[in-house]
Amino acid sequence: MTSQATFDRRDEEETSLRDVMCGTLRAADIGRSVSICGWVSRRREHGEHLAFVDLRDHSGIIQCVIDGAHDVRSEYVLRVTGTVRGRPAGTINERLGTGEIEIGDCEIEILSIAEPPPFSLDDRAEIDEQVRLRHRYLDLRRPRMQRNLRTRASINRALRSAMDRQGFVEVETPILWAPTPEGAREFAVPSRLHHGSFYVLPQSPQLAKQLLMVGGVDRYFQIARCMRDEDLRADRQFEFTQLDLEASFVSQDDVLAFVSEAVLDAAEAALGERPGAIPRITWREAMDRFGSDKPDLRVDAELVDMSAIFEGSEVKAFSAPVVKVLRLEGAADSSRSVLDGWTERAKAAGAKGLAWFRVVRTDAGDLGLDSPLDRFLSDAERSSMLELSSAVAGDLLLAVADEWRTAAEVLGMLRSTILSPPVSEGPARYVWVIDFPMFDGSDAQGNPMAAHHPFTMPQPDDLELLESDPYAVRSQAYDLVLNGWELGSGSVRIHRPDIQARVFRALGISDADADARFGFLLNAFRYGAPPHAGFAFGIDRLAAIFTGEDNIREVIAFPKTQSGTDLMTGAPAELTSTAIAELGLRPVVKES
- Minimal CB distance to ligand ASP: which residue? 204
Please tell me whether residue 406 binds ligand ASP under the rule CB under 6 A.
no
Contacts of 89 (CB under 8 A, 6+ apart): none
Q: How far apart are CA 140 and CA 133, in angstroms?
A: 10
- By CB under 6 A, what part of segment 185-214 binds ligand ASP? 204, 206
Please identify, among the stretches 34-42, 484-492, 510-518, 566-574, the one whose residues bind ligand ASP according to the rule CB under 6 A.
Answer: 484-492
Nearer to ligand ASP, 63 or 489 (CB): 489
**CA gap 494, 213 in Å, rounded:** 12
Quick one: which of 536, 292, 556, 541 has its CA closest to 424? 541
Site string for ligand ASP, 331-370 (x = CB under 6 A): ----------------------------------------
In which element (H, E) is residue 539 found? helix 539-546
**45 SS3 class:** strand
**490, 544, 546, 560: residue in contact with ligand ASP (rule CB under 6 A):** 490
CA of 421: how far to CAs of 279, 424, 428, 475, 502, in Å? Answer: 21, 8, 12, 31, 43
| Position 252 contacts ligand ASP (CB under 6 A) | no
Q: Are 324 and 400 in contact (CB under 8 A)?
A: yes
Residue 472 DSSP symbol? G
- Give least dist CB 158 to ligand ASP, A: 20
Residue nearer to ligand ASP on the CB measure, 373 or 522: 522
Instruction: Spell out the long-range contacts of 178-183 with Cβ–Cβ below 8 A and sequence spacing 24 or more.
Output: 178/207, 178/520, 179/517, 180/204, 180/206, 180/207, 181/453, 181/454, 181/517, 181/518, 182/206, 182/453, 183/449, 183/450, 183/453
Neighbours of 362 (CB within 10 A): 11
| 476 interacts with ligand ASP by CB under 6 A | no
Cis status of the peptide bond prior to 572, with omega within 30 of 0: yes
Prior bond of 437 cis (ω within 30°): no
Total site size for ligand ASP, rule CB under 6 A? 9
The answer to whether 536 contacts ligand ASP (rule: CB under 6 A) is yes
Q: Report the alpha-carbon distance of residue 156 to residue 315 in Å, rounded.
A: 56
- Smaller CB separation from ligand ASP, 29 or 182: 182
The footprint of ligand ASP on residues 155-174 (CB under 6 A) is none
Is residue 491 at the binding interface for ligand ASP, with CB under 6 A as the rule?
yes
Please choose, out of 228-236, 277-285, 483-491, 523-531, the segment that lies near ligand ASP by the rule CB under 6 A: 483-491
Q: What is the closest distance, in whole angstroms, from the C-beta atom of residue 262 to ligand ASP in the complex?
A: 14
Answer for which of 39, 199, 357, 535 binds ligand ASP (CB under 6 A) is 535
Q: How far is the CB of 202 from ligand ASP (least distance, A)?
A: 9
Complex with ligand ASP: residue 486 or 566, whichever CB lies closer? 486
| Residues of the shown chain interacting with ligand ASP in the complex, contacts defined by CB under 6 A | 182, 204, 206, 489-491, 534-536
